[in-house]
Amino acid sequence: MDTRAQPRHDTAAAAPSPSEVHNAAVDEDAAGQGGCAQVHLPTGGMCTLRHRHEGSCEFSPPGQADALLTERRAAEGW
């Protein structure tokens, strides 16, 4: 008896739902500006490094994140 899993060909079941596409841990406005925008959910801090940066995120306090993102973009030219 063949016990291997058989592939499913039901494409309707494979399509992601809208709730699966949206990621609450990313600030969409900051991501649209080229920032990493990963949000630390327990604190609300946001990573203001460039999108796809190397290494760990650097989370800025929630009230300062937008200003720091703008400052970093200007200083680094992205």
| 12, part of any domain | no
Other beta carbons less than 10 A from residue 45's beta carbon: 19
Residue 31: per-residue pLDDT = 93
| 16, part of any domain | no
- With a threshold of 0.85, does the pTM exceed it? no
Residue 22: per-residue pLDDT = 63
* pLDDT tens, position by position, 27-48: 999 999 999 999 999 999 999 9
| 39, part of any domain | yes
| 7, part of any domain | no
Question: Which spans in 1-78 are helix H?
Answer: 11-14, 18-21, 28-32, 65-76
Among 64, 66, 47, CA closest to 56: 47
Residue 50: per-residue pLDDT = 96
| 19, part of any domain | no
- Within 8 A by CB and 6+ apart from 58, the residues are 47, 48, 49
| 9, part of any domain | no
Residue 20: per-residue pLDDT = 44
Domain count for the chain, please give it. Answer: 1
| 11, part of any domain | no
- Within 8 A by CB and 6+ apart from 78, the residues are 34, 50
Domain that holds residue 32: 25-76
| 66, part of any domain | yes
